[in-house]
Amino acid sequence: MRFGVESELVEGHGGAYKVWIDDELIWDKKSMGGFPQEEEILEKIATRGGRT
């Protein structure tokens, strides 16, 4: 478990791919133009709320 968080995969529909941390959307495939690289998600987790 990295960053002390647990993840959950929730089946969606219509090609949706979204990554949420609590109630904050950090990645949306539709608006951001595709799937994220692993490092993009890890960076967003690390910097969320000013934490590094």
Domain boundaries, the chain: 1-52
Mean pLDDT of 4-15: 82
Mean pLDDT of 22-28: 89
Percentage of the chain beyond pLDDT 70 is: 88
The encoded tokens of residue 19 equal 């990554």
The DSSP letter of residue 13 is S
Query: Alpha helices, DSSP H only, in 1-52?
Result: 29-32, 38-47
Q: Give CA–CA dist 25/41, Å, rounded.
A: 11
**pTM (whole model) above 0.85:** no
